[in-house]
Structure 1
């Protein structure tokens, strides 16, 4: 009897998870410029690389640095860390699928204004609402060496 109850519970949990996923897909479709089909494909790829559903900074930086052959590895890692921070909107230290899709939306399909705001946020490291001279110099150093 215990096994039957366990199976029923897990079946209910799976249905609840699928329902939650469908709701999240619909929500992402409304707030991004991606279709349901695209979101589902991205989700499959995201889970393939991040089975836990969380992308760590270490994994992101490693992937980013390895994706570009030329340039200084240290500078590429610094830039990857800045990009990671812009995706990690809640500051948790990891990127979940929703954060990932919202970030990709801005980069791939965002308006010019959205992309400029994203770039500004990326270089405003201290979150002050302005880019200091040292932050601007960091932008220029990374931009010319990557």
Structure 2
């Protein structure tokens, strides 16, 4: 049994944690392949591997092979009840999985591609590789005011915090996963 009082960085009551534990105890810990299978059920027409791996890597501790209950609760707590800055820091980890402090064009292109692949053959309109290249370039341009060629965590948070469309998208995502 898990001592719910010592779970780090979470915002759930003991009652909520017990309910979450009962719900997920048979499913966690979950390995990378099983995590992909969950996404495949949600997005049956897409190629989920790259996107699922990005999310998996943002949840687990560095070099871990499984998402534990503690990992899950920490991420779920941020996404469902965290401040906007905490949510943006978590999202930044998806773009900067090696924690270099830089999001470069290649990483943005990888996430755009992973997202498009996730949606799959049902996506309308179909996005070409050239459109993905241009979209990644525009994102770098929007966030990189100093023309460094990459996006720092500070620039990412500052721009996202001021962009109403981005804030609405984050709010919609987080509302969808609320308990």
Aligned pair partner of 2:39 in 64, 70, 77? 64
Report the aligned-residue RMSD: 1.8
Matches of 1:109 and 1:144, distance apart in 2: 28
Please tell me whether the aligned partners of residues 58 and 97 of structure 2 are also in contact (alpha carbons under 8 angstroms).
Answer: no
* Equivalences, count: 118
Answer with 1 or 2: which has the greater Rg.
1
DSSP-derived class of the 1:34 partner: coil
CA gap 1:90/1:141 in 2 versus in 1, 3 angstroms: closer
Aligned pair partner of 2:75 in 103, 107, 116? 103
Please tell me whether the aligned partners of residues 125 and 135 of structure 1 are also in contact (alpha carbons under 8 angstroms).
Answer: no
Quote how far apart the aligned CAs of 1:105 are: 0.8
Aligned pair partner of 1:78 in 28, 45, 50? 50
Task: Name the structure 1 match of 2:5.
Answer: 26
How does 1:1-146 map onto structure 2 within 5 Å? 18=1, 21=2, 24-28=3-7, 31-50=9-28, 54-70=29-45, 72-73=46-47, 76-145=48-117, 146=119
Give 1 or 2: higher helix fraction.
1
Quote how far apart the aligned CAs of 1:128 are: 1.5
Matches of 2:114 and 2:64, distance apart in 1: 25
Q: TM-score scaled to structure 2, two decimals?
A: 0.60
Q: Which runs of 5+ in 1 are unaligned?
A: 1-17
Is the deviation greater in 85-94 or in 114-123?
A: 85-94
Matches of 2:116 and 2:86, distance apart in 1: 23
CA gap 1:135/1:90 in 2 versus in 1, 3 angstroms: closer
Deviations 1:8-42 (A, max 9, x none): xxxxxxxxxx5xx3xx30123x7311111111111
